[in-house]
Amino acid sequence: MYTDLISFQDLTAEEVMDLLSFADELKRLQRHHRPFQPLLGQTIAMIFEKPSLRTRVTFEVGIMQLGGHAVMLETRLGERESVSDVARNLDRWVDGIVARTFSHDVLTEMAACADIPVINALSDRLHPCQILADAQALREHKGELSNLKLAFVGDGNNVCASWFEFAAHVPISVTLICPPGYEVEPEIRSFAEQHAGGRVQVTHDLEEGLKDADAVYTDVWTSMGQEKEKAKREKAFAPYQVNARVMALAKKDAVFMHCLPAKRGLEVTDDVLDGPQSIVLDQAENRLHAQKAVMVRLMERGKDGMCVKRRARMSNKS
């Protein structure tokens, strides 16, 4: 049972699939303008250490649609007071925390210190909410996820790492095609390999990695927080730009995916990003539905008035 959403490593395959189906259901409800407000009267603190368009707007809109209220904090955690003090104060006032942090350790510390659920809105290591929305979009376009091959071209970064963790639960194959030195970090790669077997792979060869791909994914070469490495990264990643020639190495009906924001003309060309194979706006739209699913599962109160995390902690204490 998961009580926060920090990493897919904390979830079972059934829990991941449940979030995807629930996101589909919430999308249908929203399309029919059916009110669904299980978080009525609840308040969620949204902490953003880094800029955001999609994550911030979709969480705020989602919280409102679910009947809750969002409080926005733009701050660098751990600077004015300790992370644990922030978490333990918020715990007394609000019902959940959504946080985008530079350091992944800050997220795990908050989750350890607070009796309310903490949701990862992107850290330097992982971006699980993105992958739930992506998987929902991919399933909408391809019918099912089983046996699909996703080729991630570029940096083995937070987005790619969450795809690797996702593949540990869902029978999709994920191949990272990157320049040497930019692979997914070893701990995440070995978790994925242990659970997904040969379904996660790393290669430096575009042709080999893109062969038979149903989806071609890319992300920025320089993630937030890595700005000092920009010149070095642009040089290393230049041969890995997703353009029409690279798309042609995948299956004819492959979709193009990107978490956005994109650096047009660097990791992807305009014709691919805006072209007929691109599903980037469907991915962006689904951020709303996928995150609503996560928030309801973590924050909905049972008959005892408690969310899953508070209940679990109470029973551990007694």
Interface contacts to ligand NVA, rule CB under 6 A: 122, 157-159, 219-220, 223-224, 259
- Burial of 205 per CB tally in 10 Å (0-12, 13-18, 19+): exposed
Binding mask 231-270 for ligand CP (x = CB under 6 A): ----------------------------xxx---------
Coil, helix or strand for 44?
Answer: strand
235 burial type by CB count under 10 A (0-12 exposed, 13-18 middle, 19+ buried):
exposed
Min dist CB 204 to ligand NVA, Å, is: 20
* Burial bucket for residue 59 (CB in 10 Å: 0-12, 13-18, 19+): buried
Helix (H) or strand (E) holding 141: helix 128-142
Residue 120 in the binding site for ligand CP (CB under 6 A) = no
Q: List the single partner that 53 binds among ligand NVA, ligand CP, none, CB under 5 to 8 Å by kind.
A: ligand CP
Q: Which of 129, 178, 259, 307 is an active site residue?
A: 259
CB of 132 to ligand CP, least distance (A): 12
Burial class (CB in 10 A: 0-12, 13-18, 19+), 198: exposed
Q: How many CA atoms lie within 13 A of 264 on its CB side?
A: 6
Amino acid at 271: D
Reference 242, options 282, 222, 271; nearest CA is 271
Indicate the residue among 173 and 286 with the shorter CB distance to ligand CP.
286
Least distance (Å) between residue 222 CB and ligand NVA: 8
202/299 with CB nearer ligand NVA: 202
Out of ligand CP, ligand NVA, none, what residue 219 binds, judged by CB under 5 to 8 A for its kind, is ligand NVA
Note the residues at the interface with ligand CP (CB under 6 A): 52-55, 122, 130, 259-261
Catalytic sites, residue numbers? 100, 127, 130, 219, 259, 287
